[in-house]
Structure 1
Amino acid sequence: MTALAGKVALVTGAGKNIGRAIALTLARAGATVLVNGRSDRAAIEAVAAEIVAAGGRAVPQLADVSDPDAVAAMAREVAETLGGVDILVSNAGLRRQTPFTEMSYAEWREILSVALDGAFLLARAFVPQMIARGGGAIVALSGISHHVGTPNRAHVSASKAGLEGLMRSLAVELAPHNIRCNCVAPGTIDTVRGASAGASPGMTGGIPLGRKGTIEEIAAVVRLLAGPEGGYITGQTVHVNGGAFLT
């Protein structure tokens, strides 16, 4: 599998779950993968080591995507060491469940700062590199919550809805530069959820396929959108949810 040979891919939130699966999948397709995480250096180093052990190329990149200076520094380092990025996967996000009447502005901003502000900062930092390299692909990880309406997740839903709007706008604006921008919206996926995330709210039943999705199934769709096979797809939100939400 060499469809992405010669490409450099940055995957944020890649230390576990969906991000890890995306990093492994892009590496298997031949890309050099920058494995990003915010604070758990051991996790991203383990994923990078797993890729290298399988014969791929990977570099751990510790940086908080909500920090403009950290993102700018990461972009400079990537430009100096690898010449830039061709594929950007904005996967990093925080899961939280809080009733709206108990939600502080600080918590609201914390959630939006990673998924939405982070995607903006990353695109602003790395799109110039893509333009210089003749094009690229941005894939952002959205979700099902804001499509079906989910209680206690107003901040998460707002961040993901904004993310889809950002990708649609960038898809049109960056198309002349041969940069494609899409979202993948997972449904209920079999992942290890942190304590603050709680159970999958409102999404535990009613899945026509009768099961949770796998992280590999999400990674495969990201791989399609990032590679040459997805060359005519841009500005879309691709739902991967077993039929739980139909567009």
Structure 2
Amino acid sequence: MTGSAPAALVTGASRNIGRAIAVRLARAGHDVIVHGGRDAEAAAATAAAVVREGRRAEVILADLADPSACADLVARAVATFGRLDVLVNNAAIRPEAPFEEITLAQWRQVMALALDAPFLVSQAAVAALAESPAAAIVHIGGLTGHTGASHRAHVVTAKAGLVGLAKAMAHDLAPRGITVNCVIPGLIETDRGAGAPVHHASRKNLAGRRGTAEEVAEAVAYLCGPQSRYVTGQSLHVNGGALLP
């Protein structure tokens, strides 16, 4: 295997949880492919943060709602660093609408990015990951995939699906030395632009505060590190006690 350092691909890494994950993996010694959708400036800021940790970074912009872009992203990632050791599927969209107003096109848009893309990117990455001595895939789920939420039928369904996908992939990929897990963030303090989702107003947790993107990133780093090689097919909740599964 070429490349002196392990390499990670983090989708949706332009900001918030994705950025924190990319930086944390860099701190753990990974070179990082920073995937972004359309915001090249935000993705570049993440890459600069990775470089400040002493690792290499490359930005790749791609619309993962396009199936062909998923395979292309992985091919470009492997070509960049000559290897792939970690894949974090974080990219997603979280629109809100009453159930009866969600169109089939809107439903499919959410599924394409939040559920289809993790399947397609992971599938494209298997061959490269299988060459790694410590390969790991982590899906980033969501608390509402376990609790439900109003105005988010499409998002809730996609996030719940990621848990099942992780379990199925863990079975199929264990013989190839690839662990597959899901990290489930709860209420996390992030930049949401237009404001917090409707369901956030009623959410409470035992910690009495919102979590940070860095706390989610720590969980991801654990599942991608050498200390977690005996952990696969699991859902790790980072929610301050909002849900005790």
> Percent sequence identity over matched residues?
46
User: How far apart are 1:68 and its partner, in Å?
Assistant: 2.0
Q: 1:154-178: per-residue Cα shift (whole Å, max 9, x none)? A: 0001001111111100001100111
- Give the aligned residue type for 1:214: T
Q: Is 1:199 aligned with 2:197?
A: yes
Name the CA distance, whole Å, in 1 between partners of 2:51 and 2:61. Answer: 18
Deviates more, 1:129-138 or 1:214-223: 129-138
Q: Can you give the 5+ residue segments of structure 1 that lack an aligned partner in the other structure?
A: none
- Give the aligned residue type for 2:97: T
Aligned to 1:81: 80
* Among 189, 209, 212, the residue aligned to 1:211: 209
Name the CA distance, whole Å, in 2 between partners of 1:199 and 1:70. Answer: 29
Aligned to 2:237: 239
Name the CA distance, whole Å, in 2 between partners of 1:183 and 1:99. Answer: 27
User: How far apart are 1:30 and its partner, in Å?
Assistant: 0.6
Name the CA distance, whole Å, in 2 between partners of 1:38 and 1:242. Answer: 30
Q: Give TM-score scaled by structure 1 length.
A: 0.93
User: How far apart are 1:77 and its partner, in Å?
Assistant: 2.1
Q: Can you give the 5+ residue segments of structure 2 that lack an aligned partner in the other structure?
A: none
Name the CA distance, whole Å, in 2 between partners of 1:147 and 1:125. Answer: 28
Q: 1:17-58: per-residue Cα shift (whole Å, max 9, x none)? A: 000000000001110000000111111111112221332211
- Give the aligned residue type for 1:232: Y
Deviates more, 1:43-52 or 1:212-221: 43-52
Name the CA distance, whole Å, in 2 between partners of 1:51 and 1:233. Answer: 26
Q: Is 1:44 aligned with 2:43?
A: yes
User: How far apart are 1:206 and its partner, in Å?
Assistant: 2.5
CA RMSD of aligned residues (A): 1.5
Q: Is this contact kept in 2: 1:188–1:203, CA < 8 A?
A: no
Name the CA distance, whole Å, in 1 between partners of 2:209 and 2:189. Answer: 9
Q: Is this contact kept in 2: 1:188–1:200, CA < 8 A?
A: no
User: How far apart are 1:211 and its partner, in Å?
Assistant: 0.4
Name the CA distance, whole Å, in 2 between partners of 1:235 and 1:109. Answer: 26
Aligned to 1:180: 179
Q: Is this contact kept in 2: 1:187–1:239, CA < 8 A?
A: yes
Name the CA distance, whole Å, in 2 between partners of 1:135 and 1:205. Answer: 37
User: How far apart are 1:104 and its partner, in Å?
Assistant: 0.4
Aligned to 2:224: 226
| SS of residue matched to 1:132 | coil
Name the CA distance, whole Å, in 2 between partners of 1:36 and 1:136. Answer: 19
Name the CA distance, whole Å, in 1 between partners of 2:182 and 2:202. Answer: 23
Alignment of 1:1-247 (within 5 A): 6-195=5-194, 198-199=196-197, 201-202=199-200, 204-247=202-245
| SS of residue matched to 2:142 | coil
User: How far apart are 1:131 and its partner, in Å?
Assistant: 1.3
Q: 1:168-209: per-residue Cα shift (whole Å, max 9, x none)? A: 0000110011100000001100001132x7435156443111
Equivalenced residues, count: 242
- Give the aligned residue type for 2:145: H
User: How far apart are 1:79 and its partner, in Å?
Assistant: 2.7
Q: Is this contact kept in 1: 2:145–2:158, CA < 8 A?
A: no
User: How far apart are 1:145 and its partner, in Å?
Assistant: 0.6
Q: 1:219-242: per-residue Cα shift (whole Å, max 9, x none)? A: 000000011111111000111111
Name the CA distance, whole Å, in 1 between partners of 2:103 and 2:188. Answer: 28
| SS of residue matched to 1:201 | helix
Name the CA distance, whole Å, in 1 between partners of 2:104 and 2:203. Answer: 32
Runs (4+) off by over 3 Å: 202-205
